Each structure stands twice: as C-alpha cells, then as structure tokens.
Amino acid sequence: MDTRTSDTRLRIERLRDALAAHHVHAVLVPSSDPHLSEYLPERWTGREWLSGFDGSVGSLVVTRDRAALFADSRYWAQAEAQLAGSGIELEKMPSGASTQYIDWIARTLKPGEALAVDGQVLGLSLAKALRSALQRANVQLRTDLDLMQDAWDDRPGLPQAPVYEHAAPHGVVARADKLARVRAAMTQAGATHHLVSTVDDVAWLLGLRGSDVQCNPVFIAHLLLDLAGGRLFIADGKIPADVAARLAADGIRLAPYDQAATALAALPADARLLVDPRRVTLGLREAVPASVPVVEQINPSTLLKSRKTADEVAFIRETMAQDGAAMCEFYAEFEASLARGERWSELDIDTRLTAARRRRPGFVGLSFSTIAGFNANGALPHYRATPASHAQIEGDGLLLLDSGGQYVGGTTDITRVWPIGTVNAQQKRDYTLVLKGTLALSRTRFPRGTLSPMLDAIARAPLWQHGLDYGHGTGHGVGYFLNVHEGPQSISKAIAEPAMAMEPGMITSIEPGLYRPGQWGVRIENLVLNVPVETPERNAFGEMLEFETLTLCPIDTRCIDRGLLREDEVSWLNAYHATVRERLLPLVDGAARDWLLARTEPL
C-alpha cells in the first residue's frame, strides 16, 4: 500500500472517530466553501484531503462502514485511478449537476440515524433538497457540525494575500456606478439590504482583485449592502490602508470576516433582505431573523457583470491578441523542437506555454491549470499532468491542449488539438466532426433573450448524426479578469432558466468534444462575444444576436478530413484564419511569424 493510500485510509478513520464522538452516522463533504465557489481555497479542500481525488467537482459521503465519492463522467477515469486501494467506492453520476448522492444517503442510512454536513458550506438550494429527502427517509440532518475541524489537525487557515484594485484604465466602470446599479435593482425588488457572498460578485462590484483562490483573481469576503452603504467582511490586514480609504469614500466599511452572520442576525426589524438562493449558504440564511422578510432572486451583480461594456470588450480584444501571440511563439518552438528530435513531456508543455504567456504585457497568471493530454490522456476532459503521472510526446497521435491566462485586460480560455507524427483516418474523422460542431454554433444567429441551453444541440448535431456525443457542457460564461467559469449563461443540457437569457456583451466558450477512453480526445474551443446584428426583419421579429469569435489562434488543418466539410464551413475557417493572421502578425516575429503564416494558409 502506497503512502497516499495509507494517508487516505487513516484520514477516513479519523473522520469516523469524529462521527462517533458527535453521535452521527454519516457525513457529507461537498466540494464547497462558505462562498459556494467552484475552485476552493485550501482551507475548504476537505474532500480532496480525505479522498485523494483532486477533481474540481465531486462529493464525498463517509458512513461508519462505507465511503463513496460521487463524480460525473469527466472524472471517472481520474477518480478510479486516484481512489484505487483507498476503500472509497466510486459512484458514477450522469452529470456534474446531479444530486444522486442525496438518494444514496437516504437509501443507505437507517431511519433514526443522522447525517452531518457543515451548514456554512452547504448551498441553500441543495440544503432544501437534502432536507426534503432525509425527512422522507426519517433521517436526521445536522448542519451545526464541521467535522473537518476534528479530523484535520493541520487544516490551513484563511488566506492572507493582500487585496488590490483593478485599476484604470482596465478597471473601466467606477465602483460607485456599480453600487448604484445594484441598489437600483434592490429597490426594484423591494429590498433594503442585500447579501453578496460569491467571491467573483464581490470582486466585480467593488473593483477589487486578490489571489486567495488558485487561478482566480478573487478574495474571500462577504458583502452586506444597504441603500446607502455597506460592510465588507474580510480578514484583518488584507485591505491596504489607501484602498480602505477609497472604499470608505464609497460608503463601504470593513468588518471582521467571521462577523457576517452576526450582522445578519442584527438586521433591523424593518429590513427586507435580498439573497440569491443559488449563491448563499444555509448557515448564513439561518442567521437572518425570522421577522426579516427575505427576497430570493439572482444577485443583480451576476447579471450585470456578465454583460461586458464596450470599453471592456476593447481591452478583451487586445488581450486575446496578446494571448494568441503567446500561443504562436509556443507552438513554433514546440514544433521546431520536435522536428529536431528533442524530447518533450506534457509537463514541459505546461511550463513553456506559461513562460510564453508570462512574456506578454498584462499577464497576471493562469486562468486554470493547463490541460496537456497526449493520446489517451487527452480523453480525460479534466486531465492534469503531474510529476508522478504524465506522458512523453512521442510516436503518433493527437495532443489536446486546453489552457488560458488571466490578464489585467481579460481572461482567456482556448483548446486546440495538434497532430504528432502521423494521424490516422479515424482521428481525422473525429477531429473534423468536433470542428463542424464548433463552426455550426460559431455561425449561429439567434433572437436576443434566447435561453443559452437552447443553443447546446447546435454544436452536438454533427456528432449526433454519427451516433457520437460528449459528457460535458458546450460552453460557459467567462469573466473580465475574473473567474474563467462565470454565469448565468451556460450552453449545456442544463434546465433552462430565465436568468440564462443571452444578452449583448456576454462572453461564452464554444467547446464541443469527443473522447475515446484509452485512445485520444478532441476538443476545439474558442471564446465568443454576443453582438447585435442588423436584419431586414428586425421590426417584425425583434433583435437578433450573433457571435464574434474573440480567440485568435490557428485551428490546425492537418487533422481535417476535407471530405466531411462543406464549402461554407471551409469559407468560415479560411476567413477566421485570415483574421488571425491580420491581428497577430504585428505582435510576432521570427519563427513565430513563420509558423503563423504557415498555419493560417487557406484550406
């Protein structure tokens, strides 16, 4: 038994000791923090610490004699490998949004037994579903216990990195203007107070950035607004004095991080609180006095920040060009090096691509951990090479490279697939069918206000025609020097909701894929901007939107099965490559320039 597996078993046993000490029979450890973040500060990575599974999504349930990890198809192969020998069962969920583990808990626990879950990290919507299922099974729910405190002796504390302002010229919209727009939405909803807990909403609304979460320029804090001012609940010492003074000038006072619940409990009798049930935890919601009416609706800031301003879009276009130039420099070096017979690993790709981005103006860091997967590793949608497990780039096959950067002028996310050696006919067919999906959605026009999940099938249709599909969503929203995954829009199989309406200024990824386990994977991803388009029938049928492709990097044509592309698809691809060439040529020289010219030749 290796050390990691031994650690996992020992940690699970310590957690079971805590179960017994508190007289509960099971514990749910979600991938969550008090802000319901997708990517977690180390303090709240308990599921990973306990199980050894480091995928970004997954829930762990530990009973006194069983342990089960629930993960969707993006992580099945990864989870099977990381859980091997741990005694933890893998329960395969149909999607990342599945709550299959709730049914498992209700079936597994006996009537009268108790489940513990930390209410401070349990989303309000999930808590309602969990409580309902457990009541039917006559199982008690305890949300007042954080059993990780008992099991994890050296648990990290709160992040201490300082917060800074997203300054002009890139910080385009003034803090006072954003606060005024949110307060107008509060007034329209009949609210006197508004709790904002999601860290990207707090960062956007206050024009601040931080580094508390890897690859996301955010910081850990809650914000409680009223119609005249507000309190920012944040760890002491994180806000520099000059920034605190400017916040105070806009009516925002600082308060200790752990006082958010106390402040909610002290709301005046005539208060009316606005909260987003998808973006607030049960623990904070239960702190609100029963006498205070609560309005439940989406955070106004979530909708506002999804629509980038014209000035922000101008900076984003510049950022995309710089990011594309970095890609050209990297790929030119990579291909020339392979041609000389030099050896590369997936780890080398990550290191050298990051170095190329770092040389570009405005670069701050990666927007997520680079996914560089050769052949079979490319079939794992969320694969990450590690020193202990990675592949050499040698022989024939496909290299999938999904990467992105955080720049002061925007956030990037791009996936390309490159041929290594000789590519066979089936690989070319798979590549071309995925490309057809990317092209189909990229060229789509749709009425303004279309619910984003309605667009998902357009990218899948070329694959469905051949009996093929992929297990992840087609596209996610992207922030402006913020989280690489941003709502409310989602081009996916999610149940459509009014907040998912597509509006001008939204930036979304288009990234269909195809994965053959143990063989190879294909994903081709660009970021696109919703832009209005004039049509002759606008007066009769309303405003239409189309996508402007923002990402600037060649799509490899050597992997294409030309017989599967229509002439209109070839024309779009050639026009895109002409744009890439025009925009990037002024930013590259030497080998990178030569590579760009070669890879943007018309098909």
| DSSP character string of 202-256 | HHHHHTEE--SBTTB----EEEEEESS-EEEEE-TT-S-HHHHHHHHHTTEEEE-
- What is the percent of the chain with per-residue pLDDT over 90, rounded to a whole number? 87
Per the CB < 8 A criterion, the answer to whether 477 and 508 are in contact is: yes
Q: Is the pLDDT of residue 3 over 50?
A: no
Tens of pLDDT along 386-420? 898 899 999 999 999 999 999 999 999 999 999 99
pLDDT at 532: 96
pLDDT greater than 80 at residue 95: no
164-301: what fold? Creatine Amidinohydrolase; Chain A, domain 1 (3.40.350)
CATH fold of 307-599? Creatine Amidinohydrolase (3.90.230)
Domain boundaries, the chain: 3-151, 164-301, 307-599
* Mean pLDDT (whole number) for 83-110: 86
Cα distance between residue 173 and residue 157, in whole Å = 33
The domain 3-151 having CATH identifier 3.40.50.620: the answer here is: no
Question: What is the average pLDDT value for the chain, to the nearest integer?
Answer: 94
Confidence category of residue 97, pLDDT binned at 50, 70, 90: low
User: Radius of gyration of the chain from Cα atoms?
Assistant: 25
> Which of 465, 464, 430 lies closest to 559 in space, CA to CA?
430
Are both 164-301 and 307-599 of the same fold?
A: no
How far apart, in Å, are the Cα atoms of 285 and each of 196, 229, 261, 267, 476?
12, 21, 8, 12, 28
DSSP letter assigned to residue 556: P
Of 92-96, 127-131, 350-354, the range with the lowest mean pLDDT is 92-96
pLDDT score of 340: 94
Q: What is the pLDDT of residue 542?
A: 86
Please, which pLDDT band fits residue 80 given cuts at 50, 70 and 90?
confident
- Cα separation, 76 vs 45, in Å, equals 19
pLDDT of residue 96: 60
Q: Tell me the backbone φ, ψ of residue 207, rounded to 5 degrees.
A: 65, 35
**440 CB-side CA count, 13 A:** 20
**Residue that wins the pLDDT comparison between 415 and 38:** 415
